[in-house]
Structure 1
Amino acid sequence: MNYLIRFCISFLCLASLSIYAHAQGLFNPFEQAGSWHKAALHVHTTTSVGDVNVAESIARYKSKGFEVVFVTDKTKTNDLSGFSNEKFLAINGLELSTTTSPCHFLCLNTPRDLKFVNDIPAQQLINEVKRSGGEVIIAHPYWNNITLQNLLELQDYIGIEVYNAVCDNGTARGYSDVHWDQLLNKGRYLPAIAVDDTHKDGRIVALGWILIKTKELTVEAVMNSLRSGSYYASSGPIIENLKIENGFVNIKCSSAVQINFFAAAHLGRVFRPKDSNSLTQAQWKLSSNCRFVRAEVIDAQGRHAWSNPVLIKSTDIQSDKLKKRNRGNNVKQNK
């Protein structure tokens, strides 16, 4: 019994360290140097369930302003040689599932020869994708009827899909923001992506994407930004800036009919235009028990944009006056 208790405590400690380590690696992209790149992360072709072949799919996304496309066919990778250049990246990936979990796994930057048996344990699948140099994102949690417990049982995936266009248009189960908030409230400070998940309907293209911030357009830089959450997700609106300053979270964005802030548990705030038809900025005063904050922008067409969670330090919610007083006290103590 004592051995079992020690094992459980050790497991919980390791899980907590993993969560903490990932949270410490999250960056606010609006505070990072670099350029924005439009990226599609969940794309199928005729290699599996898509409507066009690889070349046509990439051409379609390039025509819509995308600079990064992950081709993520089910169980099979593709030969993407010749599609990338200094202004565009085509990156291999997979969508995988296993009989041991209800989750679908969006595997990014996977090698051509990566294969799995269909009854591989889900955590082993994630581990092996990471060992191969790739990363895993949980695909369409709402559509798959994924529970919070399912998500908490797994470690080391780097995000979830907050919006999936094919699930939204096909079954009205494309938004997984509740799953995301439940994870955040449990201390899993993960970023989230918006995707098309292109299948046979050619109209579902450029309905969900991320704007990723990198210093250079390389596979390594893109993967590092994905790991650190240095991006925001969108199905239409633009987030121009998001920052925490003097105890407030501030956002600037394209024309919106609603701006939402979400923090831990019941904390949050909704902003709607008062004297006009739209708003392009909002400011919300953070309370002392806010551990994180994320923003959501909704435009007149009902399209959304989602910032990733910004972790809040105690100094973020102090007034300038209190910060100066604390600095003065530190100077006195040093003397």
Structure 2
Amino acid sequence: MTLLAPFSTPGRFWRGNLHTHSNLSDGALEPAAVIEAYKKAGYDFMQLSEHFIEHFDFPIADTRAFRSNSFTTLLGAELHAPETSVGELWHIVAAGLPLDFPRNHRGETGAAVAQRAREAGAFIGIAHPAWSQLTLEDGMTIASAHAVEIYNHGCAIENDRGDGWYLLDQMLTGGKRLSAFATDDAHFKTPDHFGGWVHVKAQSLDPDALLTALKLGQYYSSMGPQIHAIDLTGRDISISCSPADTITVICGNSRSAVRNGRAITEASFDLRKLEQGWLMRRPSPWFRVVVIDQAGCRAWSNPIWWDELA
């Protein structure tokens, strides 16, 4: 069998959060307190993604002083611009911005500010699509996106709109090749922290190495469970993980493969079954893996494209 990326790539997994706020924008705690909380919770890196908007004087938090050999920070922000299909501001997570990233231009759209951030070297993610009520047409306008925020813990616990897979799955089927990241979007005013994160595979904790891995999709996301490996030979897949009650493979149509049990740690499937059935019109060009534990917490692989494997 062939071990798939990111499990096949050199390095180790580093746990991090890309979307969190301090009192530099609308969070409750000072930057130092937020960073210390993530360090104590066992994270390897995090980013303060303050709201980059005139109301807060366009802040980008300089957290370089908090970096060490065992913990690091990324520099970035949550970008805003008019206007989504329901009249909301865009919310776009940009990880890896320069501290002198220019303020929004007059009349700048969400697509334009995202493109400008990507050209400045940032990893671009479409934030909390369910909370923002983004449509497929909205998502498709952000041509510079690397990823969609498929789980936002703050939105999940505050208003039950934390899921973003509905948008990403449709964008994938529409031909967009994007990855999927989970976050907290923590403000520390409610229990909105330590609920969703990424495991990034890189050879070091250097911020540039983490950003490169994020842009390449060399990571998976989690609320708790761990995915240890995904192996593939032809259409036969094997998955190993931490103890779970469900291991499933999902694709761009209604087909899926699933194993249920109690504290299972592996599953194998013939993915040709995803291409069969009387309802089928065409096979899916991609699939993804989901692991669900007894508490209902999930881990998600990034989408895997058949033609890239070939």
| Shorter-chain TM-score tier | 0.7 to 0.9
Percent identity for Structure 1 against Structure 2? 27
Letter of the 1:31 partner, please give it: S
- Structure 2 gap segments, 5+ residues each: 53-58, 276-282
Q: Which runs of 4+ in 1 moved over 6 A?
A: none
Q: How does 1:68-107 map to 2 (within 5 A)?
A: 68-75=45-52, 76-101=59-84, 102=88, 103-107=90-94
For residues 53-96 of structure 1, the C-alpha deviation after alignment (integer angstroms, 9 at most, x for no partner) is 11111111011111111110111111223111222211211112
2:264 partner amino acid: L
In 2, the alpha carbon distance for the partners of 1:220 and 1:199 equals: 26
The root-mean-square deviation of aligned C-alpha atoms, in Å, is 1.8
Task: Compare CA radii of gyration and give the structure with the larger one.
Answer: 1
1:201 shift after superposition: 2.4
Alignment of 1:121 with 2:109, yes or no, is: yes
Partner residue of 1:29? 6
| CA distance, structure 2, for counterparts of residue 66 and residue 315 of structure 1 | 31
Counterpart CA distance in 1 for 2:188 and 2:284 is 43
Residue deviations 1:82-128, cap 9 Å, x none? 11122221121111221233431011111222221473122211121
1:131, distance to aligned residue in structure 2 (A)? 2.1
Query: Of the candidates 240, 256, 264, which is equivalent to residue 279 of structure 1?
Result: 264
C-alpha change, 1:301 and 1:215, in structure 2 (3 Å) is: same
2:239 equivalent among 243, 251, 259:
251
SS at match of 1:85: coil
The answer as to whether partners of 2:220 and 2:301 remain within 8 angstroms in 1 is: yes
Gapped runs of 5+ residues in structure 1? 1-26, 317-335
Which residue number corresponds to residue 222 of structure 1? 210
Q: Calculate the TM-score normalised by the size of structure 1.
A: 0.81
Name the structure with the higher helix share. Answer: 1
Query: Bigger shift: 33-42 or 74-83?
Result: 74-83
Q: Write the letter of the residue equivalent to 1:175.
A: D
Q: Distance in 2 between matches of 1:280 and 1:47?
A: 42
Deviation at 1:138, TM superposition (A): 0.3
Q: Is the 8 A contact 1:138 1:160 kept in 2?
A: yes
Structure whose residues are more often strand by fraction: 2
* 1:157-236 correspondence runs (5 A): 157-201=145-189, 203-236=191-224
- Alignment partner of 1:151 out of 139, 157, 172: 139
Moved more, 190-199 or 262-271: 262-271
